[in-house]
């Protein structure tokens, strides 16, 4: 029988941890619902002891997302595990993920105090005892307990094996072998997984691999793990995560699928949801997907060299090992114009994986008409950007009512802004280094916010000077980060909208 490999997504935990952006519980729920549509097996939703927001996010996802297993992270410490227990109490299927750092470096540095033991041997024994106690405690809350041996990629193998024997005996159902520092190389890592598989073959434990991309080998190491017996892979969408990131799940999923002849395993993921999922994740974290990113990049299916195009036209298998439709990417770029009716827009949105009706569809359509009026041709990328701009769940405290700027050679850039703040109209003007700077100074002074601008990013959604500009800003308020986005054929207006969107998002998190 064909072996099944489970997909464990940790975008909301390991991914978020590194993004510099804290998502609110509602934003995390939106992504979790999309991960459910992608049909991943496990969603690691957060680290409940780390913040009240994380606790609430895990609880909310447990309540609303019922098909995948929802996993909560902890250290093998009583308070952490009890927080997980509380977070998962309403889940349909829940898992607690617990463990400790087990490499000599972790053992001697993290457990430096003498109360953990004087020698390395004694400290290792402490780590082993804490791990066993942690698994036992987690078992009081759920049967499904995953143990992680942090920094396993650099750990003493004899100790690792002893540790695994002990936690399996204590009830661990999944053993995670993380290469936390991205130090492993495929042949060596694969061989380690094979030895652990051999050692644990008489138990029902599932082996999991969790690789980081510091040397650009997270996906290769993960695949080496699968080839050698791992039954679960951990990673994130687009590979976002600590430092250089985690293993990019879309790459692993498509590699296992495209090279089934070699790996001989299957997953139950719905690959057709990958394109949309990757766009949603990029949006939520305010990041751009590189053009040449494997599987989901804008050029992943583009053929440009003469020989390739010629071959492609004679038969697409000549230079194409996957189809855009496999991951739900738009097959051909359909161009819409102002003459495209409501039904046409709705139909194209459906093909792109977005179902909107009623009032939401109407808002998107109105916006589409305005854009089509200005730039004549509306591409799929434009349509997706409009959707993400219009369908916002954030209540608007600040509304942009009027914006006028002057700039040019020999003039002092000035902006006049009128805002509606919770029903009241305020107006002001400011000078600046340029029209965007002037606009931002005016908005900051009118809103009287303590929020600070940390990052400003602008890009053209499609090519050509009439393209829409999309602005993404990172804001910080009292140590919390939030993003805002704005879209317009006028880049100054797009900039103002992005700042106001960011301020609204920060206000809604209070």
What's the closest the beta carbon of residue 234 comes to Mn ion, in angstroms?
Answer: 8
CA atoms of 55 and 313, how far apart (whole Å): 53
The two three-digit tokens of residue 13, written as one number:
């935990």
* Window of 10-18, 29-37, 339-347, 477-485 that interacts with Mn ion by CB under 5 A: 10-18
Distances from the Cα of 487 to the Cα of 182, 277, 447, 471, angstroms: 38, 21, 21, 7
Q: In what order do the strands lie in the sheet with 469-477?
A: 452-460, 469-477, 480-488
Give whichever of 14 and 389 is closer to Mn ion, judged by the CB atom: 14
Give whichever of 18 and 369 is closer to Mn ion, judged by the CB atom: 18
Give whichever of 96 and 507 is closer to Mn ion, judged by the CB atom: 96
* Window of 8-16, 188-196, 282-290, 320-328 that interacts with Mn ion by CB under 5 A: 8-16
What's the closest the beta carbon of residue 81 comes to Mn ion, in angstroms?
Answer: 19
Cβ–Cβ < 8 Å for 221, 186:
yes
What's the closest the beta carbon of residue 443 comes to Mn ion, in angstroms?
Answer: 38
What's the closest the beta carbon of residue 265 comes to Mn ion, in angstroms?
Answer: 23
What's the closest the beta carbon of residue 107 comes to Mn ion, in angstroms?
Answer: 18
What's the closest the beta carbon of residue 285 comes to Mn ion, in angstroms?
Answer: 16
What's the closest the beta carbon of residue 252 comes to Mn ion, in angstroms?
Answer: 15
CA atoms of 95 and 73, how far apart (whole Å): 9
Give whichever of 14 and 151 is closer to Mn ion, judged by the CB atom: 14
What's the closest the beta carbon of residue 486 comes to Mn ion, in angstroms?
Answer: 33
Q: Which residue has the tokens 């694969």?
A: 190
- Any residues with CB less than 8 A from the CB of 134 and at least 6 apart, and which? 74, 75, 76, 77, 81, 98, 99, 100, 147
Question: Maximum Cα–Cα distance for the chain, whole Å?
Answer: 80
Task: Select from 176, 175, 256 the least CA-distant residue to 5.
Answer: 256
For residue 102, the number of C-alpha atoms closer than 13 Å in the C-beta half-sphere is: 31
Give whichever of 151 and 470 is closer to Mn ion, judged by the CB atom: 151
DSSP-based three-state secondary structure for 297: coil
Residue window 98-137: x/- pattern of binding to Mn ion, with contact defined by CB under 5 A? ----------------------------------------
Residue window 46-75: x/- pattern of binding to Mn ion, with contact defined by CB under 5 A? ------------------------------
* Window of 12-20, 34-42, 91-99, 409-417 that interacts with Mn ion by CB under 5 A: 12-20
Give whichever of 14 and 144 is closer to Mn ion, judged by the CB atom: 14
The two three-digit tokens of residue 204, written as one number:
């029902």
Give whichever of 239 and 328 is closer to Mn ion, judged by the CB atom: 239
What's the closest the beta carbon of residue 9 comes to Mn ion, in angstroms?
Answer: 12
* Window of 9-17, 217-225, 411-419, 450-458 that interacts with Mn ion by CB under 5 A: 9-17
Instruction: Tell me which DSSP letter residue 391 carries.
Output: -
Tell me, by CB under 5 A, how many residues bind Mn ion: 1
Sign of the C-alpha dihedral computed for residues 179, 184, 189 and 192 taken in this order: negative
Cβ–Cβ < 8 Å for 377, 399:
no
Give whichever of 14 and 16 is closer to Mn ion, judged by the CB atom: 14
* Window of 13-21, 105-113, 265-273, 282-290 that interacts with Mn ion by CB under 5 A: 13-21
Other beta carbons within 10 angstroms of residue 170's beta carbon come to: 18
9 binds Mn ion (CB under 5 A): no
Looking only at the bridges linking them, the beta strands covering 414-421 and 424-431 are: antiparallel
- Any residues with CB less than 8 A from the CB of 437 and at least 6 apart, and which? 413
Taking each helix axis from N to C end, the angle separating 380-390 and 342-351, rounded to the nearest 10 degrees, works out to 100
Q: Which of 5, 9, 11, 14 binds Mn ion (CB under 5 A)?
A: 14
H or E segment and range at residue 476: strand 469-477
Instruction: Quote helix, strand, coil % in the chain, to nearest 5.
Output: 45, 20, 35
What's the closest the beta carbon of residue 178 comes to Mn ion, in angstroms?
Answer: 6
Cβ–Cβ < 8 Å for 63, 28:
no
What's the closest the beta carbon of residue 399 comes to Mn ion, in angstroms?
Answer: 41
Give whichever of 18 and 460 is closer to Mn ion, judged by the CB atom: 18
**Contacts with Mn ion, residue ranges (CB under 5 A):** 14
């Amino acid at each position: 029988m064909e072996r099944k490999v489970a997909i464990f997504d940790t975008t909301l935990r390991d991914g978020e941890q590194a993004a510099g952006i804290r998502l609110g519980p509602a934003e995390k729920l939106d992504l979790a619902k999309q991960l459910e549509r992608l049909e991943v097996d496990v969603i690691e939703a957060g680290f409940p002891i780390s913040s009240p927001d994380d606790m609430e996010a895990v609880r909310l996802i447990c309540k609303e997302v019922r098909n995948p297993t929802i996993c909560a992270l902890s250290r093998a410490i009583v308070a952490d595990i009890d927080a997980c227990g509380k977070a998962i109490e309403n889940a349909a299927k829940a898992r607690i993920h617990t463990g400790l750092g087990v490499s000599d470096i972790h053992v001697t540095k993290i457990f430096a105090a003498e109360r953990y033991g004087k020698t390395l041997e004694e400290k290792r024994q402490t780590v082993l005892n804490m791990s066993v106690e942690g698994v036992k405690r987690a078992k009081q809350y759920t049967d499904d307990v995953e143990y992680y041996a942090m920094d396993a990629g650099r750990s003493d193998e004899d100790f690792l094996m002893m540790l695994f024997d002990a936690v399996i005996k204590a009830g661990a159902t999944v053993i995670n072998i993380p290469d936390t520092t991205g130090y492993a190389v495929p042949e060596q890592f694969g061989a380690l997984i094979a030895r652990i598989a051999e050692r644990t073959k008489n138990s029902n434990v599932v082996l999991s691999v969790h690789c980081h991309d510091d040397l650009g080998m997270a996906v290769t190491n993960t695949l080496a793990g699968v080839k050698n017996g791992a039954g679960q892979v951990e990673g994130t969408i687009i590979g976002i995560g600590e430092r250089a990131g985690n293993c990019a799940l879309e790459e692993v999923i498509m590699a296992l699928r495209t090279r089934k002849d070699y790996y001989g395993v299957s997953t139950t993921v719905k690959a057709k949801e990958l394109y949309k999922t990757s766009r949603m994740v990029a949006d939520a974290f305010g990041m751009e997907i590189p053009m040449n990113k494997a599987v989901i990049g804008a050029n992943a299916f583009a053929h440009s060299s003469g020989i390739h195009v010629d071959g492609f036209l004679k038969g697409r298998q000549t230079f194409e090992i996957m189809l855009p439709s496999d991951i739900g990417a738009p097959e051909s770029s359909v161009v819409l114009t102002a003459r495209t009716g409501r039904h046409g827009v709705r139909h194209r949105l459906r093909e792109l994986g977005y179902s909107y009706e009623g009032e939401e569809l109407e808002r998107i359509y109105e916006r589409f008409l305005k854009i089509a009026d200005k730039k004549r041709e509306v591409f799929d990328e434009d349509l997706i950007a409009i959707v993400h701009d219009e369908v916002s769940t954030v209540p608007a405290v600040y509304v942009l009512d009027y914006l006028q700027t002057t700039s040019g050679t020999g003039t002092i850039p000035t902006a006049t802004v009128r805002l509606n703040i919770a029903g009241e109209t305020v107006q002001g003007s400011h000078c600046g280094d340029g029209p965007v700077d002037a606009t931002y100074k005016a908005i900051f002074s009118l809103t009287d916010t303590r929020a600070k601008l940390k990052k400003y990013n602008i890009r053209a959604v499609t090519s050509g000077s009439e393209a829409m500009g999309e602005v993404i800003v990172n804001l910080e308020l009292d140590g919390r980060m939030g993003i805002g986005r704005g879209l317009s054929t006028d880049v100054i207006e797009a900039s103002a909208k992005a700042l106001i969107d960011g301020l609204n998002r920060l206000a809604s998190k209070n």
